[in-house]
Amino acid sequence: MRVGHFFILLFVLTALFSCENKTANTSRQKILEVGGKFLYSDQLQNIMPPNVSTKDSTEIAKSYIRKWVTDVLLYENAERNITNKAEIDQLLEDYRKSLIIHQYQQKLLQERLPKEPSEEEIKAFYDKYNDQLILKENVIQGILLITPANAPQLANVRKWVKLENTKSLESIEKYSMQHAISYDYFAERWIPFSEVLKKLPLQLEDQTSYLSERRFIELSDSTKHYFLNIKTSKLIGQTEPFDMAKPKIINLIMNKLKADFISNFENEIYNDAIKNESVTFFK
């Protein structure tokens, strides 16, 4: 396609994509042809983002046309020069067969397996294999409150964070709305202690020893005051808390169920075929 024709085409495309109302055609409008392959206007329309400007639509169309033409020409050149077509055809057939089998297996799994194991199954797995669910990092539950260094009522804040009862939590929430830089309540979820340390002016060589000796940490620097109440902690080498291990356990159980189901289903198909004499063995 000559350069002059290309830019005439872009002019046509600009007009095409700048129209607000596009009427549907019963036959597809050809844009260009390369080696017997046709690019149609609806193909270009389908790749256009909504509310695209005339300038952008022209650039998108230009890029798409170049890629489309290049792909057609590359494929034609490859077909002429590749000699192992039979091998490629076999690879394609193998891939098609594997894809169809995979889709069928996924359909069966969705229909016949639960979406996730029961709570009893999860707990039983945790109790049986807790020696394999070992923490590789320290995790904690608690409260972290950061205030400006000159914030008011710091003595009360210290007391509220230490107490961590319903009344004190209400006081912290009200106080944090007016005075706190940040307030993170994670007393019901586990987070790595290393993530908390990123928010504190504290460098530790031995996190485990530090955690085992402390439940309340108060620090300050030139601009901020930090209050950390560690409700509970689990240390490296200990068993993961159940709530933390639960997603991993669900994944392990479901993967095992899926693998067993597929294996049993394949064995059933094979055995039925042998029983029904659908397979013929030649001697």
Q: Considering the chain, what is the average pLDDT of its residues?
A: 88
3-state DSSP of the chain? CCHHHHHHHHHHHHHHHHCCCCCCCCCCCEEEEECCEEEEHHHHHHHCCCCCCHHHHHHHHHHHHHHHHHHHHHHHHHHHHCCCHHHHHHHHHHHHHHHHHHHHHHHHHHHHCCCCCCHHHHHHHHHHHHHHCECCCCEEEEEEEEEECCCCCHHHHHHHHHHCCHHHHHHHHHHHHHHCCEEEEEEEEEEEHHHHHCCCCCCCCCHHHHHHHCCEEEEECCCEEEEEEEEEEECCCCECCHHHHHHHHHHHHHHHHHHHHHHHHHHHHHHHHHHCCCCCCCC
Of 253 and 80, the one with more pLDDT: 253
**Each residue of 17-56: pLDDT tens digit?**
444 334 334 478 888 998 888 999 888 889 898 888 888 8
pLDDT in tens, 99-109: 999 999 999 99
Can you tell me the mean pLDDT for 54-83?
90
Residues 146-181 have pLDDT tens digits of: 999 999 999 999 999 999 889 999 999 999 999 999
Where residue 84 falls among pLDDT bands split at 50, 70, 90?
A: confident
| 119-142 tens-digit pLDDT | 999 999 999 999 999 999 999 999
Report, as an integer, the average pLDDT of 205-231: 91
pLDDT of residue 231: 92
pLDDT at position 79 is 86
Q: Taking 80 as the threshold, does the pLDDT of residue 229 lie above it?
A: yes
